[in-house]
Amino acid sequence: MIYVFRKISLPSAAKGPSSISHRQFKNFNRNRFRSDILAQPWVNLMGIDNPIEMWLKWKSLFSEVCDLHAPLRTKHVRASKSPWITPELKNLMYRRDRLKIKALRTGDPSDGSNFKKLRNEVNNAIKNVKKSYYYKTFETYNMEIPARRGKLSMR
């Protein structure tokens, strides 16, 4: 008998940016911004015939004032490592963590019992959500659900 094993990798989900740029308006003063905008040499734009050059000059004058009053900041964000985690699951996990902290602080057996119940509920929810995610992924790529662990076969 001749047979072949082929590793199949599913395309990973599109990775989002690892950093996001945004303007910080913490110390923004509307009146000073207006006066600085009015103080810009907007008259210099009148002598430019090319609309692209005019736009670039206008943008540079406006950005100069924006950078002064609302500077650009870069915020680093982590990508979700587990694509099956849903907002509902995150909420359950948050409640579980809160109950754990409460149980550790109070030492009350009923708090410990409540934590253990929710911990088990979260573990079961994770298993179900993960299973559902992979079943949907297999269906998307027209793959048969594996009969045994680790083996995929094409339809």
107 falls within a domain: yes
| 41-55, 60-74, 77-91: segment of lowest average pLDDT | 77-91
Q: Higher confidence at residue 78 or residue 60?
A: 60
Same domain (yes/no): 34, 63: yes
**pLDDT tens digits along 97-155:** 999 999 999 999 999 999 999 999 999 999 999 999 888 888 887 766 555 555 444 44
Amino acid letter for position 43: V
113 falls within a domain: yes
Same domain (yes/no): 99, 52: no
**Residue numbers of the domain that contains 132:** 87-140
For the chain, the average pLDDT equals 83
Domain boundary among 50, 76, 102: 76
* Partners of residue 45 on adjacent β-strands: none
12 falls within a domain: no
**108 is written with which tokens?**
């009350």
Contact yes or no for 78/29 (Cβ under 8 A): no
pTM for the model stands at: 0.44
- The dihedrals phi and psi of 96, each to the nearest 5 degrees, come to -60, -45
Give the residue among 78, 79, 91 at the shortest CA–CA distance from 129: 91
**87 is written with which tokens?**
């907002």
Same domain (yes/no): 23, 42: yes
